[in-house]
Structure 1
Amino acid sequence: MMQVLTSINVNQMEAINRISKDVSSLKEHVKDLKTEIDSLRFENEKIKRNIENVYSKYNEKDKQIETLDSEIKNLQITKLIDPLTTTTVSNTIEETVMAELSDRLVRSKNIIITGLMETKISDYKERKEAEKREVLGLLKKISNDCTKPKSITRLGKYAPDKQRLLKVCFSTPKEAISVLRSKSNEKLNPIKIFADRTLQQQSFYKKT
């Protein structure tokens, strides 16, 4: 009887050991499966991100193509413009630039004087002579070698109660520049001397 019981116990122990080994093996297998699933999930996320990046790049390129198409259409429309109109606009711009350069060249020979009191002489010729003497005296204060100007003109209509600007014209730009270099001379106060600028130059210097 004891021998039979011992045999049964041995068989049970062997069965338990086999089952334990099977359970351990299953656990390892489950663990491997979980690792593989996690790896597949990671790869899946990576693939998903790559797809999203590709789609984003596709949209970006699609927008660039639309922009280029629009620019091409605009260029095609521009080509359809009457060449005569384009030439006219180009000529107008060129004429404007040439006129500005010509005006600047003429004005580069001039200076503008402010603060020089206007005489109360009513006779035009006498008033001109008096102003000429005043300007020549002013130029001598700047330099004894100062060149005599070609002309001296008050700008604007004469009015006894107004003080108009004086435009002094020289033969060359060099003579005008020589006077302008000494415009900060303290002997000239309260008289001020400026370059004769075009409207375009005046507008530019107001902005700066």
Structure 2
Amino acid sequence: MSVVRSPPQSPITYTEGNRDSIATMSGIDRFEKIGGSQPDLRKIALSDNINQITFRAKRKTPDDDFGAQFKQFQTKMESIIMDMTKTQTENINKISQGVSEIKEQISLIKVTTDLLSSEQEKIKSELTNISNFRVNIEEKVVAIENEIASLKNSPTSMINTSLLSYEDFVSETQERSQREKNIIIRGIKEIKSSNLEERRSHDGEEVKKVLKMAVSDHMEPTKTIRLGKYNPDISRPIKVIFSTSEAAKLILRNKSNIKSEDIKIYTDETPYQQKYRNNL
């Protein structure tokens, strides 16, 4: 590398005290004193300043430190986000579980409400049946009273009025209430068999056929019983028992639908009713 030097300057003459001095400038601010007995202080100061100047490199932050700080910050943010995600997931699971429990409780409440509604309907039906039963009892009481009065006034009556006590009256009323659920069917032929179960099964099927002829709806009796002792030469009448008196009344009202001349259907009368009817 070439160094450009300034050209030599012409001597400069200046007065220092009472003496003349001559100096030449070479380079930058460099003077060479010619003549004189005192040293040039400017030259010494200039030389000292140049030697005392030092240059220090500026400290720079390494790129690795910034990358490490950013990595640490990124790790912290990821940890915070993971914690937030975990907490949010747990909260969502708790909410979902709570919603499921609420749905189950709502289902249980609905089932309970349906059961209560069903029980309420049953209670209403029972109250209606009780009311109808009371009306029927009142009608029966009136009918029995009329029959008693008629028997008292009838000269052909064979019944001792002293026997018609209060207990007999109550017993007759209860028995009629029970027999209202029954009908008597005559004309169904009885098979000749010593096996009781076989005879009962046959009678049940034949009774169902007769009931179907009377009423198109399916009528299922509670029980069927042959009256009297078994005799292979005689077909005994059958007592058909239903769960309600309405079923028996329905059959009696529609017995004309049965076209068979051999089949006859009657009400199940008490002995007192039979005796009264025979005396008419």
The interval holding the TM-score normalised by the smaller chain is 0.5 to 0.7
TM-score, L = length of structure 1? 0.54
Distance 1:98 1:125, change over 3 A: same
Check 1:93–1:163 CA distance in 2 against 1; reply closer, same or farther (3 A cut).
same
Give the counterpart of 1:131 among 203, 219, 236: 203
The alignment's TM-score, normalised by the length of structure 2, stands at: 0.41
Quick one: which of 217, 221, 228 aligns to 1:145? 217
**Displacement of 1:91 after TM fit?**
11
* 1:112 maps onto 2:184 in alignment: yes
Assess if the C-alpha contact under 8 Å between 2:214 and 2:256 holds in 1.
Answer: no
What SS does the aligned partner of 2:228 have?
coil
One-letter amino acid of the structure 2 residue matched with residue 192 of structure 1: K
1:196 corresponds to 2:235: no
The answer on 1:180 being equivalent to 2:252 is yes
User: Aligned partners of 1:142, 1:99: CA distance in 2, in Å?
Assistant: 32
Provide Cα deviations, 1:83-104, integer angstroms capped at 9, x if missing partner: xxxxxxx998111000000100
How far the C-alpha of 1:165 sits from its partner, in A, is 1.0
**In the alignment, does 2:220 pair up with 1:155?**
no
Higher helix share: 1
Contact 1:183 1:194 in 2 (8 A): no
Which among 151, 165, 187 is matched to residue 93 of structure 1?
165
User: What displacement does 1:195 show?
Assistant: 0.1
Shift of 1:207: 2.7
Match of 1:169 in 2: 241
Aligned residue type for 1:189: E
Query: Separation in 1 of the partners of 2:209 and 2:164?
Result: 45
**Per-residue CA shift, 1:116-137, capped at 9, x if unaligned?**
1111122111111011001001
SS in 2 for 1:171: coil
C-alpha distance after superposition, 1:45-104 (max 9, x if no partner)? xxxxxxxxxxxxxxxxxxxxxxxxxxxxxxxxxxxxxxxxxxxxx998111000000100
How many pairs are equivalent? 120
In the TM superposition, residue 146 of structure 1 has moved relative to its aligned partner by 4.0
User: Deviation above 3 Å: which 4+ runs of structure 1?
Assistant: none
Larger Rg computed on CA atoms = 2
Aligned sequence identity (%): 41
Structure 1: distance between partners of 2:164 and 2:267: 28
| Cα distance between partner residues in 2 of 1:157 and 1:91 | 30
* Matching residue's letter, 2:277: Y
Q: Find the residue that maps to 1:188 and give its secondary structure.
A: coil
Paired amino acid for 2:194: S
